[in-house]
Amino acid sequence: MIRLFCQHKIREQVELEGLWDFVPISANSDEMPDKYGYKLSVPGCWEMHPHFLKFRGRGAYRRVIDIEEKSDLKFTFKGVSHTADVYFDGKHIGHHYNAFTEFSAVVPQVEAGTHELLVIVDNSFSESSALHVPNDYYTYGGIIRPVVMEKVKEVYIDRTEFVPSFEKGSWNAEVSVILKNYGKTENEIYIKGKLAGKDLEFGTATVAAESELRVTKTFEFSNVKPWSNENPQLYMLELHLFGSNADKPFDDYIDRVGFRTVKVEGQKLLINGNEVKLRGFNRHEDHSIFGAAIPFQAMANDLDIIMDLGANTVRTCHYPNDERFLDLCDERGIYVWEENHARGLSLKQMQNPNFEKQCEDCNREMVHYHFNHPSIIIWGILNECCSFTEEGRAYYKKQLSQIRDMDKSRPLTFASCHPFRDMCLDLVDIVSFNIYSGWYNSDNTLEHYEKFYEWVKTAGGNNKPIIVSEFGAGAIYGLREPTRVKWSEERQADILEDNLSVYCTRPEIVGTIIWQFCDCRVTEEGDWFKSRPGTRNNKGIVDKYRRPKLAYGTVQKWYKKG
């Protein structure tokens, strides 16, 4: 499954899922493998195989492809963890860093016959990797999300951007169509579309050789229903690309959109002009069996549980998520805070020469390809990185303006853990902090929060809404102790009861996002294992198998109150 809806009725598209040949390869050889000892699932993590449970290094995935007639082929990789080098019939066609955003490569003029697609995957840690580092989550290895092969013409629709607005009682939408022309000559095209029963005429455009072109037009829609948590109304945006033959489009692109606005007004978060309170969870894409390559059924099951808990929000800690999960959130009216890939990087780590480009590539790919999900109501960056120094502030400022330049329709934030010294609160629309009163310290939750809130007002966060973006406690599944000692399920429930009784009752707090939905694997490299029993972050409300802990009832009670 590529998406939860059909993206093309004209463009031929096939998912290259199934068993691919696999073989681990040594760290520094450029030799292409000539024999493959394994067959691994794609999408999948190599850690799912008994021989690669903890394998950190490089592996080669190979897929033989039969082409019936001469074609231009576009390969899209939705997620390769964490670095990919792609070869087609032995020719290098693509390189990508970061497990959590998509990339594509086009191979023109492929002759009919049998061909080889080879992907060298690397999940090792090194200076060249600024974002995938030993951390309190696991960097798996493999082609963790779908691989898509499409037949394209020299000019094709790469993506769209849909920006709805509501003025004087009616909905408008600015629709942008982004075209790519990889040919050596310019191309004149005509774009038509359909949305909510309305024909969309974009007119003609000329796409220069080897370039990209954005065509934008605003349309009014009279009889559409808004997308909301209560009624997640979705519409299909169908676009057709015509060339000289005005009767028969040669390419198409179908996306799914929702009419909704998200705004910050004073200390309120408004969806379609109505005040909302986010009640949610931080969710790592991590599963006991599937690692980061969570199959669709298990994603749906996670959301069933999240909704049973009375939540309406998911924060994609700490990286852009699988589009199929975002599609599910669109369909179920679940709000999403999606964020770029970074967790707890020190200033020294942010000074890695690859950091800025790797972040900015991730930001661009995240916003470009997840733009149209109505469920995404907030963009976040740089979780708990160095936002308390002038140099760190410069990184935050640059990335926030990069995202704001790409999308002015959503509020921006970042989750800080530097109270009383953070220097970046003036840069965001929503102030978000991770606070672990009762777990990492014996702070009285209310006293600590009131002191923190007074500081926020003086530090650039005055009159801004606040999200408590992480709070919670660890509990080993099954550990029940009358002493209610730390790591017992009882203590986790007690701490969450205490935290929720404060954070759910403050008017300026527009969101409470519990750390975390499910237990997740962490790296053995680094020191995390010392405070992570079983080398797992055990603050889940459910464990790695999604078995509920005692706190499940506590959270459900508070979240169902709204």
71-77, strands of its sheet edge to edge: 13-15, 147-152, 71-77, 103-110
Q: Considering beta carbons, is residue 180 or 532 the nearer one to ligand ADA?
A: 532
Options 303, 366, 417, 500; binder of ligand ADA; rule CB under 6 A: 417
How far is Cα 503 from Cα 76, in angstroms, rounded to an integer?
Answer: 42
Q: Helix, strand, or coil here: 273?
A: coil
Tokens, residue 144 = 């963790």
- Picking from 504, 420, 423, the residue whose alpha carbon sits closest to that of residue 466 is 504
Q: Which residue is nearest to ligand ADA (CB)?
A: 136
Please identify, using beta-carbon distances, which residue of 105 and 131 lies nearer to ligand ADA: 131
Per-residue binding string, ligand ADA, 352-391, x by CB under 6 A, is -------------------------------xx-------
Size of the site for ligand ADA (CB under 6 A): 12
Residues from 303 through 342 that contact ligand ADA (CB under 6 A): 317
Report the residue from 343, 464, 544, 549 that binds ligand ADA according to the rule CB under 6 A: 343
Torsion 119-124-125-131 (CA) sign: positive
CB of 479 to ligand ADA, least distance (A): 17
Q: Which is nearer to ligand ADA, 161 or 470 (CB)?
A: 470
Residues 227-256 that bind ligand ADA (CB under 6 A): none
Query: Binding marks (x or -) toward ligand ADA, 202..231, rule CB under 6 A?
Result: ------------------------------
Out of 136, 251, 286, 498, point to the residue binding ligand ADA (CB under 6 A).
Answer: 136
SS3 state at 61: strand
Q: Where does residue 478 rank: exposed (0-12), middle (13-18), buried (19+ CB within 10 A)? A: exposed
Q: What are the φ/ψ torsions at residue 285 (nearest 5 degrees)?
A: -80, 85
Distance CA 112, CA 105 (A): 19
Q: How far is the CB of 207 from ligand ADA (least distance, A)?
A: 43
Kind of pairing between the strands at 335-339 and 376-380: parallel
Shortest distance in whole angstroms from residue 537 CB to ligand ADA: 5
Contacts of 236 by beta carbon, 8 Å cutoff, 6+ apart:
5, 194, 195, 254, 255, 256
Token readout for 402 is 């990069």
Nearer to ligand ADA, 312 or 523 (CB): 523
CB of 516 to ligand ADA, least distance (A): 7
Which position has the token pair 């003025």? 167
Interatomic CA distance for residues 29 and 45, integer angstroms: 22
Give the residue with the Cβ less far from ligand ADA, 136 or 543: 136
Q: Which is nearer to ligand ADA, 382 or 459 (CB)?
A: 382
Min dist CB 507 to ligand ADA, Å, is 24
Do 221 and 195 meet the contact criterion of CB atoms below 8 Å apart? yes
CA 306/CA 311 separation, integer angstroms: 6
Q: Least distance from C-beta 299 to ligand ADA, angstroms?
A: 20
Cα–Cα distance for residue pair 352/431, rounded to 1 Å: 27
- Cα–Cα distance, 531 to 439 (Å, whole number): 12
Contact between 470 and ligand ADA per CB under 6 A: yes
113: left (phi over 0), alpha (psi -120 to 50) or beta: left
Binding characters for ligand ADA, 533-562, by CB under 6 A (x = yes) = ----x-x-----------------------
Kindly state the smallest distance separating residue 439's Cβ from ligand ADA, in Å. 8
- Cβ proximity to ligand ADA: between 136 and 361 the closer is 136
In the complex, the smallest distance separating the C-beta of residue 538 from ligand ADA, rounded to whole angstroms, is 9
Least Å distance, CB 464 to ligand ADA, is: 20
- Binding residue for ligand ADA (CB under 6 A) from 434, 445, 512, 523? 434
Q: Of 472, 453, 160, which is closest to residue 315 (Cα–Cα)?
A: 472
H runs (alpha helix) in 91-239: none
Q: Please identify, using beta-carbon distances, which residue of 363 and 537 lies nearer to ligand ADA.
A: 537
The HSE-up count of residue 186 (CA atoms within 13 Å, CB side) is: 6
Window 67-86: residues binding ligand ADA (CB under 6 A): none
Whether residue 44 contacts residue 52, with contact meaning beta carbons closer than 8 Å, is answered with: no
Residues whose CB is less than 8 angstroms from the CB of residue 348 and which lie 6 or more positions away in sequence, other chains included: none
Q: Which is nearer to ligand ADA, 122 or 384 (CB)?
A: 384
**At its nearest, how many Å lie between ligand ADA and the CB of residue 377?**
20
Cα 370 from chain centre: 8
Task: CB nearer to ligand ADA: give 155 or 520.
Answer: 520
- Output 318 or 324, the one with its CB closest to ligand ADA: 318
DSSP 46: G
Residue 402, helix vs strand vs coil? helix
Residue 115 or 418 with smaller CB distance to ligand ADA? 418
Q: What minimum distance in Å lies between the beta carbon of 470 and ligand ADA? A: 4
Binding site for ligand ADA (CB under 6 A): 136, 317, 343-344, 383-384, 417, 434, 470, 515, 537, 539
